[in-house]
């Protein structure tokens, strides 16, 4: 029999794969007619395209096609002749015994005059994204129309393209389909912290062209200006083919189908976003997959029915966890809000608080898996445990749905593990869990651990090694490039996890300047320009001031540079001076003056040693017992430029009064009458931790030698982005193990660690001085490649407390 499938999107691809797996007798020959020129790809992860993913990375289609299947790309269907049971395209006619319409949806564009002006885009296909990326090159401002899931994904895409971004949402709050007003407000707060302007409760009324710019008028009488506009205000079912064929459609659009996914023509099915099941359209991939499975069962003589689908969602938008599940309002709502940390949680309960109906999580969604599985029953633990940050350790019942996209339960995952699936990729291949949006992957890892399966420690999918193992490979084999490492010991072309990690390893081993050759392309964003990018697109300049000690002459130079380049000046808690507001093309000129005055890079942009803070010590303080400033200066100069898995901070206090706050640092030193006390593994940040006492009353030589070994052992063995505190906590034996390695030398590593630090000290050169002496490296410091002398016109500066500060362009233009 002949099956024709119209559409090769995610749901259409799921149908042909499921049919190929189940139709073992070869009853059906399948023809797929696709409008796009690409095989099916992952629209859920579409924004990963702007994070370095390629079209090949996003594909859902295997290299070949199932036996008995003919896939015709770039051949859209023009008409369906139901009487003759024939589908017609420009290239020919295709008879069918059964027809499946999987035509998906099209982007909704508000009917505003000017919506088709040059610079206006939709956000739906890879072709759309390619056109958007090309047009955005060299431009500075973008507006996204739509503040739902797709709109916030588009806003993130514009940020990744380097554009200042505004979001316009017609509803009173962001993500109105998933969040309540309070949850939407918390999400807005978090997004605005990223310098994305949010305008809610207003719609676009007109778009006008003003030279190369666009003016967007809104119902709220705001007029926003930008270089481009992206419409991501939702989708509408593509039911035009069905309408012209005389098939019934729902009142609000969509091809009307019953629970078997049949239309009013028994030979025609509809699945995915184009289908209106009993009048309801579903805009998520999980219901579409469930529909595809139902149709496959029906084609093979079964009686499966579509009974609705879980519309729960969990995702990370602009770095913010957002989740909703079940009903978001009940007879009794229990709410937790923590604006200081950007957290919001709401659980919807029955009036007796005995049954969980659903909920919302913003900022921390770690409790999502346990809560979603508990919908319809009691909360599995104390309410307070689920409302605050983090999630309690709760065992999920076997029927709990682990992957909502593919309707995979905990029992199904455990069965796959029992059949020999020993890691996440194997579980994915066996069950499909985690293959769509990926939000359930952490839960898959937990279930593997629950089943007693040792977890892979691979850095990422491209390397089956830990960071420590890669470090040793690079060191022992003398590997000097990422391409050589991936060719010899990895697969693929790398990702945003392994590339910066390998860049850090190469830098830690003294592999030349970080902007040399291939190594430049591996760096994190800030390392590309040896400066931290700020919210307005300018950069920071942070010269190193070892130990916080500075001469009046050098202090005057910093003041003159700040004055002459109009920079904001701030003395930091680490005893440095931040100069903020430098345009990218100004950075070389600023650093020429600073280098001439003897300053070096302070590495505020890198995963490296930042500062060694100090008090004034015995030189000035009547309580001081040792020269804390002298030691701090010596240590900062010794370890400057030392690249590591994460940033490193230190401090030296001249007495037990601890004015330098040494115990909050990765390594902290406190003077005693007999010498120095060394503390290891402290850090500030989101989870502050005091360092632990490691050595007492040691002399300076012993102290420095121990710190050398501590840092080198950390650099060699820590995971990517792991602070020293977490690293020590993860060592088997903690501080005792560390003491055995770097003091007692039980592993015989100390001589090697000492030699490695000696090589670092001997090889140090200042990164900015090297840039200034290299015309090739200097070429990257421009705002626009095609107009290198042109400053970024989007950067505007105001005055506050006598200093320059970022100034947003006024939103209203009359």
Which of 6, 10, 5 has its CA nearest to residue 46?
Answer: 10
Which residue(s) pair with 698 in the sheet? 676
**Is residue 669 a contact partner of residue 699, using CB atoms and an 8 Å limit?**
no
Q: How many CA atoms lie within 13 A of 440 on its CB side?
A: 31
Alpha helices by DSSP H, listed for 247-322, are: 285-299
Q: How many CB atoms lie within 10 A of CB 298?
A: 17
Which of 185, 121, 115, 172 has its CA nearest to residue 150?
Answer: 121
What DSSP string runs through 615-647? Answer: --HHHH-TT--S-HHHHHHHHHHHHTT-B-SS-
Q: In this structure, what is the dihedral angle of CA atoms 701, 705, 706, 709, given to the nearest 10 degrees?
A: 180
3-state secondary structure of 777: helix
| E strand spans, 327-460 | 332-338, 343-349, 356-362, 401-403, 408-409
Output the CA–CA distances (angstroms, integers) from residue 131 to 53, 94, 393, in the order listed.
16, 33, 46
Could you say which DSSP state residue 421 is in? -
d(CA 805, CA 474): 44
d(CA 628, CA 766): 25
Q: Provide CB contacts within 8 A for 147, sequence distance 6+.
A: 167, 168, 169, 171, 173, 174, 175, 176, 198, 200
d(CA 702, CA 710): 12
| 421 is annotated as contributing to ligand binding | no
C-alpha 49 chain-centroid distance:
12
d(CA 225, CA 811): 8
Which of 559, 603, 565 has its CA nearest to residue 581?
Answer: 565
The order of strands in the sheet holding 120-122 is 120-122, 228-231, 141-145, 164-169, 197-200
Alpha helices by DSSP H, listed for 305-409, are: 368-374, 383-387
| 430 is annotated as contributing to ligand binding | no
| 615 is annotated as contributing to ligand binding | yes
Pairing between β-strand 228-231 and β-strand 235-237 as defined by DSSP bridges: unpaired
End-to-end CA distance of the chain: 65
d(CA 152, CA 145): 10
Which of 650, 656, 649 has its CA nearest to residue 671?
Answer: 656
> What's the count of helices (H) and strands (E) in the chain, helices before strands?
25, 38
| 460 is annotated as contributing to ligand binding | no
Evaluated on CA atoms 491, 493, 494, 499, the torsion sign reads positive
Evaluated on CA atoms 659, 661, 663, 665, the torsion sign reads negative
Could you say which DSSP state residue 86 is in? E
Which of 76, 54, 64 has its CA nearest to residue 9?
Answer: 76
Q: Exposed e or buried b for every residue in 693-730, given b needs 16+ CB within 10 A?
A: ebbeebeeeebbbbbbbbbbbbbbbbbbebbbbbbbee
- Which helix (DSSP H) or strand (DSSP E) does residue 12 occupy? helix 10-22
**3-state SS of 494-511?**
CCCCHHHHHHHHHHHCCC
**Is residue 15 a contact partner of residue 296, using CB atoms and an 8 Å limit?**
yes
Provide the annotated binding site for [4Fe-4S] cluster: 615, 621, 655, 659
Provide the annotated binding site for siroheme: 659
Provide the annotated binding site: 615, 621, 655, 659
């Amino acid at each position: 029999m002949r099956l024709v499938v119209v559409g090769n999107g995610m749901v259409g691809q799921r149908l042909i794969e499921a049919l190929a797996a189940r139709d073992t007798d070869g009853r059906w020959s399948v023809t797929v007619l696709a409008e796009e020129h690409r095989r099916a790809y992952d629209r859920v992860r579409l924004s990963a395209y702007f994070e370095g993913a390629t079209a090949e990375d996003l594909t859902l289609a295997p290299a070949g096609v199932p036996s008995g299947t003919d896939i015709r790309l770039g051949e859209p269907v023009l008409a369906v002749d139901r009487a003759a049971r024939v589908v017609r395209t420009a290239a020919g006619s295709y008879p069918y015994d059964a027809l499946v319409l999987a035509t998906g949806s099209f982007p909704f564009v508000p009917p505003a005059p000017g919506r088709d002006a040059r610079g206006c885009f939709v956000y739906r296909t890879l072709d759309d994204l390619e056109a958007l990326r090309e047009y955005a090159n060299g431009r500075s401002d973008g507006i996204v129309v739509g503040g739902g899931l797709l709109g916030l994904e588009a806003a993130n895409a514009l940020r990744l393209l380097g554009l200042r971004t505004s979001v316009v949402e017609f509803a009173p709050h962001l993500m109105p389909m998933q969040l309540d007003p309070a949850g939407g407000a918390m999400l807005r707060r978090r997004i605005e912290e990223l310098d994305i302007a949010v305008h809610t409760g207003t719609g676009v009324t007109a778009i006008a062209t003003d030279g190369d710019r666009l003016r967007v008028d809104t119902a709220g009488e705001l007029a926003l200006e930008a270089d481009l506009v992206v419409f991501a205000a939702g989708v509408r079912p593509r039911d035009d083919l069905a309408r012209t064929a005389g098939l019934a459609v729902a009142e609000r659009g969509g091809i009307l189908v019953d629970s078997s996914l049949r239309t009013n023509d028994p030979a025609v099915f509809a699945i995915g976003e184009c289908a209106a099941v009993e009048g309801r359209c579903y805009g998520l991939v999980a219901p579409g997959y469930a529909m595809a499975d139902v149709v496959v069962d029906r084609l093979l003589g079964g009686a499966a029915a579509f009974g609705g689908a879980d519309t729960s969602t969990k995702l990370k938008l602009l770095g913010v966890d957002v989740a909703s599940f079940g009903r978001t309002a009940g007879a009794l709502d229990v709410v937790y809000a923590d604006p200081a940390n950007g957290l919001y949680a709401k659980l919807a309960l029955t009036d007796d608080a005995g049954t969980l109906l659903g909920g919302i999580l913003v900022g921390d969604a770690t409790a999502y898996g346990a809560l979603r599985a508990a919908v319809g029953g009691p909360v599995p633990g104390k309410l307070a445990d689920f409302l605050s940050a983090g999630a309690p350790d709760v065992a999920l019942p076997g029927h709990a749905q682990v992957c909502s996209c593919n309707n995979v339960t905990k029992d199904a995952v455990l069965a796959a593990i029992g059949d020999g699936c020993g890691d996440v990729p194997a579980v994915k291949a066996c069950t499909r869990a985690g293959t769509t949006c990926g939000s359930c992957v952490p839960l898959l890892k937990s279930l593997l651990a629950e089943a007693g399966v040792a977890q892979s420690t691979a850095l990422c999918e491209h390397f089956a090694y830990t960071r420590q193992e890669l470090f040793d490979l690079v060191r022992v084999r003398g590997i000097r490039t990422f391409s050589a490492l991936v060719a010899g010991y990895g697969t693929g072309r790398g990702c945003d996890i392994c590339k910066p990690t390998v860049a850090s390893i190469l830098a830690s081993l003294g592999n030349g300047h970080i902007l040399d050759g291939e190594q430049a392309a591996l760096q994190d964003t800030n390392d590309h320009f040896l400066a931290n990018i700020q919210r307005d697109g300018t950069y920071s300049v942070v010269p190193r001031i070892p130990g916080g000690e500075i001469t009046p002459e050098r202090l005057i130079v910093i003041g003159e540079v700040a004055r002459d380049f109009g920079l904001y000046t701030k003395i930091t808690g680490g005893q440095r001076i931040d100069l903020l507001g430098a345009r990218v093309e100004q950075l070389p000129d600023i650093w020429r003056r600073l280098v001439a005055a003897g300053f070096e890079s302070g590495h505020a942009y890198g995963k490296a040693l930042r500062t060694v803070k100090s008090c004034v010590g015995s030189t000035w303080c009547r309580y001081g017992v040792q020269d804390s400033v002298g030691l701090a200066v010596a240590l900062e100069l010794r370890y400057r430029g030392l690249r590591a898995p994460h940033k490193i901070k230190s401090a030296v206090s001249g007495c037990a009064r601890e004015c330098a706050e040494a115990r909050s640092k990765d390594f902290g030193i406190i003077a005693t009458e007999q010498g120095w006390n060394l503390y290891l593994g402290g850090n500030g940040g989101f989870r502050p931790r005091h360092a632990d006492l490691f050595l007492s009353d040691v002399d300076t030589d012993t102290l420095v030698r121990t710190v050398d070994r501590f840092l080198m052992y950390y650099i060699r063995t820590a995971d990517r982005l792991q602070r020293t505190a977490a690293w020590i906590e993860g060592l088997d034996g903690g501080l005792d193990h560390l003491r055995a390695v770097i003091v007692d030398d039980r592993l015989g590593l100390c001589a090697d660690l000492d030699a490695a630090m000696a090589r670092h000290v001997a090889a140090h050169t200042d990164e900015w001085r090297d840039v200034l002496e290299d015309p090739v490296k200097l070429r990257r410091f421009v705002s626009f490649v095609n107009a290198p002398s042109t400053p970024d016109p989007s950067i505007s500066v105001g005055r506050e407390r006598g200093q320059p500060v970022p100034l947003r362009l006024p939103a209203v233009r009359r």
